[in-house]
Amino acid sequence: MKNFLSKILLTVLIFSISACNTKEIDKLVSLKNSKITILEKKDKEIFQYWEFENKSFLWENDLGQIRDLEFFQDSLKKILGTTKFKEVLKKEQRNKSFNIIPFESENGDSINAELVHSGKIGKIRKMNFLEAQLLNYQISRYPLLNHPTEFHGFIMSNKALKRIRVYFAASDQPWPPKPHLIIDAIEKDLKKGWKLKFHLHNHYEPKSNNYLGILAPSMTDAHYYNMLKEEYKIEKAIITNGFNTVEIKANDFNRLKAN
């Protein structure tokens, strides 16, 4: 009888903990439903930010409700077929013992990919909640498979206030708009005790290259990262492809091919 009651109490406890975690995540189910501060909207270009309490679930792998992102993931699997899908996904997951090209190649983008996928620079991991929500927000505007776009995400942190502020710039074009408005806002934030933690953007590939974005920075990306480090003391750069994310520490930016 005691064992039976103990099992019941344990089950109730586990359920309660799970319910608390779910309830916490439900406070920010979707960035689409969260308060947005608009900096500017110009035609299809948007410049805006969200601000909320810095909760642990934002950085964890429980992604909550990500309907549009899940649709992209499921659709990609159907388009490529199970076997090809696994091959393509595995290629971009690898962070060790993977040499794409001879390192003496003059192709800077390929050199950066080799640096990441050989494990020399960066860390490839599962996408976290905040990254998934930002990508989900953009692909709810323009589906990634038939209207691919990239976005800028600048993630600020204020330790004293225990809050984060997420700036976002995007349009209907393949590349994100130049984020001058956001940079101006970041400069003001830095003077008020905020820190620039991350720059996030997404990568994708065309149909001819199986859609899934490369988890490595281009030379253009690397050049931009170095500027963010020099001017704004950014801590890390992160790139996601809708399944996984690579994060690169600022101390490694100068090891990337940037020109």
Q: How far apart are CA 147 and CA 172, in angstroms?
A: 8
What is the pLDDT at residue 240? Answer: 98
Instruction: For tokens 């019941």, name the residue.
Output: 8
What is the pLDDT at residue 76? Answer: 97
pTM of the model: 0.86
What is the pLDDT at residue 124? Answer: 96
Helices (H), the chain: 2-26, 67-80, 82-93, 108-117, 129-141, 180-190, 219-232
Q: How many domains are there within the chain?
A: 1
Q: Is 64 left (phi over 0), alpha (psi -120 to 50) or beta?
A: left
Question: Is residue 198 included in any domain, yes or no?
Answer: yes
Contact status, residue 236 vs residue 198, Cβ threshold 8 Å = yes
Where in the sequence is the domain holding 191, given as residue range(s)?
30-255
Question: Is residue 21 included in any domain, yes or no?
Answer: no
* Longest distance between any two alpha carbons in the chain, whole Å: 73
Q: How far apart are CA 187 and CA 191, in angstroms?
A: 7
Question: Is residue 6 included in any domain, yes or no?
Answer: no
Element (H, E) at 197: strand 195-202
Question: Is residue 25 included in any domain, yes or no?
Answer: no
Beta bridge partners of 53: 163
Amino acid at 213: G
Question: Is residue 225 included in any domain, yes or no?
Answer: yes
CA angle 128, 133, 138 (to 5 degrees): 130
What is the pLDDT at residue 93? Answer: 86
Question: Is residue 24 included in any domain, yes or no?
Answer: no
Question: Is residue 19 included in any domain, yes or no?
Answer: no
Question: Is residue 234 included in any domain, yes or no?
Answer: yes
Tell me the mean pLDDT per 10 residues along the chain, length 259.
48 43 54 93 96 95 91 97 95 67 68 92 96 97 97 98 98 96 98 98 96 96 98 98 98 95
